[in-house]
Each structure stands twice: as C-alpha cells, then as structure tokens.
Amino acid sequence: MKVLLYLAHPNFDRSGINRPMFEAARGIDGVTCVDLYACYPTLEIDRDCEQARLLAHDVIVLQHPLHWYSAPSILKEWLDQVLGYGFAYGQDAKGDVVLALAGKYIFHAVSCGSPKEAYRADGANGADVRQLLLPFEKSFEFCHMRSLAPFVLFSAGLPMAIDDGNAGQRERVEILRTYRHHLQDWKQMLIALRDHELDFEQAQSARILNELLPTLFVQTGDL
Amino acid sequence: MELLGAAFVYLIAAVVAVPLANRFGLGSVLGYLIAGVVIGPVLGVVGGETVELQHFAEFGVVMMLFLVGLELQPSMLWRMRTQLLGLGGLQVVGTTLVIAAICLAFGFSWQVALALGMILALSSTAIVLQSLNEKGWMGTIGGKSAFSVLLTQDIAVIPMLALMPLLAVQVPSLLDGQAFAPFFEGIGVGIAHAAGASSTGAPTWFDGLPGWAQGLFVLAVIVAIIVAGRTLIAPVFRFIARSGLREIFTAAALMLVIGIALSMNYVGLSPALGTFLAGVVLSDSDYRHELEADIEPFKGLLLGLFFITVGAGIDFHLLFANPFSLIGLALGLMVLKAVLLYALATGFGLRGADRWLFSLSLAQAGEFAFVLFGFAASSEVLEPSIIKPMTLVVALTMMFTPLLILLYEYVLAPRSVLLAQQEADKIDEQGKVVVAGLGRVGQIITRMLMTNDFKVTVLDHDPDVIENLAKTGFRAYFGDATRPDLLHSAGLGQADLFIAALDDRSKQTEMVRHVAKTYPSVTIFARARDRHHIYELEKAGAHHVERETFEAALLLGRNALVSLGYHPFRAEKAGRKFRRHDFATVNRLRDSWNEEGVTDHYIDAMRAHNETLYDLMKEERMEDHDMGEQGWMKDPDQKPG
C-alpha cells in the first residue's frame, strides 16, 4: 500500500519528537512525506495538487502536535480546501455521486504535552485523544474513509526540560528511552502499513494505536 | 625599446610558466620562480638588471600588506595581540639566538653570528602570504598564526636595521655620542631599501633633529595617517567616485598607497608596515572593496615580478662550484627553523594540520634578507665572502618553500585532523550573502536579511546612495557590481547566496551571467523588470527570479476590489487565483520564448492565456452563486457537519 504522510507543525525547527519522526519516515521507501507548512507557508493550499496526491495513495497519516485539543490550523485549511465538494463528497457536473476517497485509511500521529493519565474520561482533559479528534474522524467518515486509532506520544516536549537541565539524570534517561522506543514503533508501523502487514480491523476499533502495536502486526506471507 | 623587450621576456616567462605550474597543482609562486630560473641562469636572456628590478618589485610586498590590512578590522588586530607579541616575538628572538649560537660554534665572531641570526630569522612575507591566500588557508588557525609572525617580523626589521651598524667590527665606544649617528643613518638607508621603490637611500629629512623629536615626529605621522584615513579619505574618494571615471579611482588608490609608502620612508618606518596600518584604518570604509579590486592586479604583477627576479638571481656558477654544501646549508636552515617553529607552535596550543602548516610555511628566509645583506655589506658587518653564498642560500630556501607547501597539502594535511574551531572562526570574515544594487529592491532584501542576523555584503555604484544610507545606520560598499574583480573582492567566492538587484536591465542580466559562470556553487536570486526579463535572467543562470512590481500590483489590485465592495477575503482569493494563473502562464510560455523569442505564436499563446484567466475568474463567480444549487447544500462553501 502507498502511504502518504502529512506533517503539520508550525515550529518544525524546534520540534523534539516530530522532526526525528518525519525524518525517519523520509527514509522509508513507499512513504510520501509532505511538510504542509513548508509547501504552503502562506496557508494557500494547492487544491488540485493535494487532491491528486490523495488519489495516488491508500493510507493517509496526519502527523502533528495536539494544539488546543485539535490540529494546527493548516490541517483544518487542508480539510476545508482539499476534501471539497464534487471530489470527496457530493455530486459531479452530471449529477452522479462522487466519493473519490472512499475506502482509504486515515489516522493521526499526535504528540501531546500532558501525560497519558490526563487523556481519560476521569482525567484532567476529560476525554481521550480519539474523542478529541472526533470532528476530523466524522469528516473522514462523511467521505467514506476508514479511520484508524491515533498513534500517540504522551508527555512530549520534555526535551526542553532536558536542555534546561531541570530534569534529573534519571528522568532524562527515561525520556530519551521513551523517545527511542516511540521512534522504533513509528518506523515499524509505517513499514507494516506499506507492506499491508497490519490488522486493520483491530486498528480501526482501538483507542490508541501504538499500545496495541505488537499484536497488530500480521504476517501476510504470500498475500 | 630595451624596456619593452625586457618586459616582454618577463611577461612571456610568467605567462608560460605560471599556468603550467597551476595546472600541475604547484601554485603560482613556484611557477614564477621556475620562470625566473629559466630566463635567468638557464637561458641567460636577462642579466644584471634583475637586482634593480627586484627592488622595484618589492613594492608588491608593500601593496600586499595594504590589502592584508584592508581585510583586518582594528578589533581583529587587537585580538591578535598575544599572537603578535608572544608567538611572533619569540620566533624572531629565539631563532636569532639559536642561529647566532650555531654560527658562534663554527667560529664566527659574535657580531657576524648575531647579524646572520637576525637576517635568517625572518621569513618571506611575499611567498607565504601569496601561497596561503592562493590555497585559501588564511582563515585557518595555522594560517593566522603564520600571518601574526610575519607581521611581527616586518616590525622587527626596524630595530634590526638600527642594530646592524653597531655590529660593525670596528665598534666605537658605545658611550661616545657619535656612536648613535650611524644608528639613525642606518634606519634611513635601510628603510629606503625596504621601500624598494626608492632604493637610492635617501636620508630621512629630519636627520638633524634630536632623537626624542624624531620619535615624536614618527608618532605624529602615524596619527596623521589614522586621522586622515578616518576623516579625509571618504569625502575625497566620494568626490572622485562621483566623476564616474574608473581609471581616476584606480589612480587615486595607487596614489594613496605610494603616498603612504613615501611618507613612511621619510619618517624612517617600514613602508610595508605603514600601508598595512593604512589598510587597517580603511578596512571599515565604504570604499574597501573598490580599493581592493583596484590594487589587487598591481600587487599580483609586482609580486610575480619579484618571484621571477628571485629565480633569475640565482648564481648558478656559485651553486655548481659547491652544490652540496650550499643546498645542504639551505636545507639545514629550513629544518632548523621548522623545528623551532614546531616547538613554538606546540607551546602556543597549535595542533595537527595547523601546526604543520605553521612550521613548514615559515621555514624559509625571506626577501628582507636581501635588503639586510645589502645593508650589512655597506655597514661592513659582513664580508662579501659570506654574503654571496648566503644570498644564494636564502634564494634556495625560497625556491624550496612551494615544495614544502605541496608536502603539507598532499601528505601531512590529509593525515592530520583539522581543528573544529576553524569553522567558527571563518564566519566573521566574510558575508554569506552578497547583494548587488541598493535601490528600492535591494534595500528591502538587505534589511530583512540583516534583521535576521545574516551577514550581508552590499554593493552599490552610487556614492550618494551609500552616504544617505550610512546616515540611517546602514552599511554598503561603493563599487560597480558589474565588475568581476569587485564581486571577487566582495567575497562572492565564499558566499552562499548572491542577490542581483540592479536597476539597469541589461547590466543586471550581464552580471547574472558572469556570476553564474564564475561561481557555479553560488545560488543566484534576481529581480526582473518584466516577464521577458524573467526568461532572460533564467537563461543567464539565475536560480530564482521575481518581477519587481508584480506583488505590489497584485496587492493594489486586491485592495481595489475591496474598495469596490468585495469582501476582503474574497478579494484575497481573487488575487491568489490571479497569481497562480500568472505563474502558470510564465511557466507555459517559457519554452516558446526560449525557442523563438517574441513571435506571433508567443503573442497568440499569451492572448489565449489571458482569455483563460477571464474564464477562470468568471468560473469563480459562477461557483459562488450557482454550484450551491446542486446537491443537497445551498452553498458549496457550506461544509458538511
């Protein structure tokens, strides 16, 4: 399967985990990587170009930090412009129904500032990440796309604490280990997506993708 | 005719030998030296005039130090003070003493030993700086340290010239007041030699004054140079620049250098040192790059001539009489100097490739040795029987230096790890961006880059523009950016980005073509007058071109739509659509323009595109009103949900 990765990060230069994730993805064959803020610094998205891109891929990954319980603004602009009437939904000039993106898999790869405990019904945010991203999921559903659970890194943004020297030695080691682990999962998952070696059924119904990862990998063998 | 004939011989030797030497990676210095050997001792086409010519050519060293000074801001010189005094001072004193001790051991009198020590301790500014510049090693730590030592040596020549007469065998009682007469006379004669141009040994005109007055006078001249450089030079050069006569500017630049050399001569200081000082003073002047570009070719030719005369002056009869002892002496001297330099470098924290570069590049004896030998002969410190072979030894060490540089470049440097600091140091020497043209376009670009802390070198040909901008705290250098030499001295070779923002359409294209050809690694951004100019500039080699009025016109158009009643964001969208379509048109017509120029076909294609634009805009209006009636939504911009 062809994987299309959209990155939406307004401060890519200073990003701790998103940058290594994006760069790792760039090194994987069969994954097309698009840095939205780099392509459209004035937020003026080329609709035709992006629609053609979507058509050419099977899995769409939206990589971004969680901003105001949602995505950075360019991703909303992308949604508004690219998933347009007469393409992703609605009718064409002849009056036939169009659903150009039907059947494609789509999900978010998100980094969150708060720890995991905050993203629970009884936690500080009162909802988990998949719930927070519901407006996106509903839009994709409207276009007959298939949403997978988000791939999440909690407690991101702590490398700044490492740089400041505020974190203790033990903490630092722990954070770096988490990051390495996350990157490893990320690469493995992108490759599995590409090679169609992921249990898509289970990935659609899960709440968070990475926690289930080892059980999600399937060997398709000669398929 | 004789003059032209001689000139022709020297030039043809240089023209043949130097490119050949460069072709084989030997460097220009060795090329010149070989050319000199060929036309001198081997073919015998040139003869006795070489010595005289050499004095003349030594003026190239003076010019070189002026240029070096231009590259050095006073603050950088101040930062070098430990190196100058410590490294340089120790090198001169240490090498002098060791050589003198060895001479003593061989049974020379202490006076002769000391004289030889002083003379041979000096290195060749001409060869070393020329080679370092050519290879681009001046920015390395090794190169900078070598330069500090050379600068100290240039200063050290003055006390040496003063000491020389005191070493004369028939030393009168030092307590006798008369003893100091030859001392000051010595300075005058010696300096005149060092000046090269006026080797007649004109006595300084304040000989009659008492010592303290002379000292004050020297100080006054130095202060005068600094003050004049700060206050007088800029208005004078601006006046000349306004005339727009290129050769007069060159004449003024030459006049400045020669004038300073002469005045230094009169007060008994090294002209090389004086022009160096003047260079430093002018290093933050608006006219720095223009001066550099003007003096550079003269310096190059004179230095080349100097190297040829060194080669031509080698006495082959003497050499073949006892080749082993003379070559052995030369090699021994170089090994000795290199060992001392190596030890010194170690003490001053140089490591790896830098230590090798420092020790090997400075291991020869220099052109000052010729001057000092001449002076030592006239003050009867050294016998001709010593001077003759030693002059040859000095010339041989100079001949061997390019070989040592090659040894460093191909054998030693690749094996040593270059120090990481080198990178960080380089940045403060040259701007990473060069902007040509400081008009309406160049100013905005430059201000943007500068406020983002990028180092920008700006060139403009209008002295009034530069002066007015200086009042607003904005620095630019004077010069016609279409001149290749000026672009070179502005540091385009080291730049990442070149921004071509000239007003004049054809000059702009010409400049871009030259830069693209000469500096293939530099990215070129250019401003275009109109659509055709885009194609011209792209063809000339620009990487990114923008029309100067396009964005502004688009903005005005958008605002016009708003004032005619459009919602601002709708007007913005219309502007975006217009821009996209216009860019597409530019892209589509490019091939047609490249192949045929502006033909009927091109005009037809353009008209067709204008019609599509009209349709597009109409479509947008249609979309807003009509499309919404299709499907179940009233308005297509009303998204589901």
Q: Distance (Å) from the C-alpha of residue A219 to the closest C-alpha of chain B? A: 39
**Whether B126 contacts B61, CB under 8 Å:** yes
- Helix/strand/coil for B15: helix
pLDDT score at B361: 92
- Mean pLDDT over B96-115 rounds to 90
Query: CB distance A91–B631 less than 8 Å?
Result: yes
DSSP state of B627: G
Residue in A44, A85, A89 nearest the CB of B576? A44
Q: Is A92 on the interface with B (CB under 8 A)?
A: no
- Under the banding of pLDDT at 50, 70 and 90, the label for residue A74 is very high
Segment of A131-140, B502-511, B624-633 carrying the highest mean pLDDT: A131-140
Q: Write the burial class of residue A62 (CB in 10 Å: 0-12 exposed, 13-18 middle, 19+ buried).
A: buried
Cβ contacts of B636 on chain A, cutoff 8 Å? 85-86, 90
Interface test with B, best of A79, A85, A142 (most B CBs within 10 A): A85
> Which residue on chain B is closest to A87 by alpha carbon?
B636
Q: Is A214 on the interface with B (CB under 8 A)?
A: no
CA dist A188 and B355 (Å) reads 49
Q: Distance (Å) from the C-alpha of residue A147 to the closest C-alpha of chain B? A: 17
- Higher pLDDT pick, B24 / B627: B24
Compute the count of residue pairs across chains A and B with CB atoms less than 8 Å apart. 23
- Under the banding of pLDDT at 50, 70 and 90, the label for residue B362 is very high
Q: Distance (Å) from the C-alpha of residue A23 to the closest C-alpha of chain B? A: 25
**Whether A146 contacts A105, CB under 8 Å:** yes
Tokens of A121: 């019904």
Hey, which residues does B457 pair with through a beta bridge? B434
Q: Is A90 on the interface with B (CB under 8 A)?
A: yes
Query: CB distance B633–A142 less than 8 Å?
Result: no
- Mean pLDDT over B319-339 rounds to 91
What's the mean pLDDT when you consider all of chain B? 79
CA dist B478 and B465 (Å) reads 9
CA dist A136 and A148 (Å) reads 12
Q: Write the burial class of residue B55 (CB in 10 Å: 0-12 exposed, 13-18 middle, 19+ buried).
A: buried
Query: CB distance B641–A138 less than 8 Å?
Result: yes
Tokens of A15: 């990003």
| Amino acid, res. B583 | F
Cβ contacts of B577 on chain A, cutoff 8 Å? none
CA dist B275 and B635 (Å) reads 78
pLDDT score at B537: 93
Query: CB distance A135–B631 less than 8 Å?
Result: no
**Whether A101 contacts A83, CB under 8 Å:** yes
- Under the banding of pLDDT at 50, 70 and 90, the label for residue B211 is low
**Whether B209 contacts B254, CB under 8 Å:** no
B114-147 pLDDT, tens digit each: 999 999 999 988 889 888 888 878 878 888 889 8
Written as one string, the DSSP assignment of B278-313 is HHHHHTTSTTHHHHHHHHHHHHHHHHHHHHHHHHHT
How many beta carbons lie within 10 A of that of residue B180, not counting itself?
15
Q: Is A48 on the interface with B (CB under 8 A)?
A: no
pLDDT score at B189: 43
**Homologous superfamily in CATH for domain A3-216:** Flavodoxin domain (3.40.50.360)
Full strand arrangement of the beta sheet holding B433-436: B477-478, B456-460, B433-436, B497-500, B523-528, B544-547
| DSSP count for chain B of H helices, then E strands | 31, 6
pLDDT score at B44: 76
**Whether A36 contacts A75, CB under 8 Å:** yes
- Under the banding of pLDDT at 50, 70 and 90, the label for residue A26 is very high
CB interface of B with A, residues 617-636, below 8 Å: 627, 630-631, 633, 636
CA dist B424 and B406 (Å) reads 26
- Mean pLDDT over B219-232 rounds to 84
> Which residue on chain A is closest to B575 by alpha carbon?
A44
How many beta carbons lie within 10 A of that of residue B396, not counting itself?
22
Given a cut of 90, whether residue B409 has pLDDT beyond it is: no
Query: CB distance A142–B640 less than 8 Å?
Result: yes
Query: CB distance A138–B631 less than 8 Å?
Result: no
**Whether B180 contacts B165, CB under 8 Å:** no
B61-86 pLDDT, tens digit each: 788 888 888 877 788 778 888 888 88
CB interface of A with B, residues 130-189, below 8 Å: 135, 138-139, 142
CA dist B202 and B340 (Å) reads 37
Tokens of B474: 């904005």
Tokens of B35: 């050319």
Query: CB distance A90–B630 less than 8 Å?
Result: yes
Q: Is B246 on the interface with A (CB under 8 A)?
A: no
Query: CB distance B631–A44 less than 8 Å?
Result: no
Contact residues for B184 (Cβ-Cβ < 8 A; gap 6+): B162, B204, B207, B211, B214, B268
pLDDT score at A43: 92
Q: Distance (Å) from the C-alpha of residue A91 to the closest C-alpha of chain B? A: 6
Hey, what's the torsion of the CAs at B240, B245, B247, B253, to 10 degrees?
A: 20
B252-288 pLDDT, tens digit each: 888 888 888 888 877 767 777 788 888 888 887 888 8
> Which residue on chain A is closest to B626 by alpha carbon?
A93
Residue in A46, A91, A139 nearest the CB of B641? A139
Residue of B200, B180, B174 whose CA lies nearest to B189: B200
Cβ contacts of A44 on chain B, cutoff 8 Å? 576
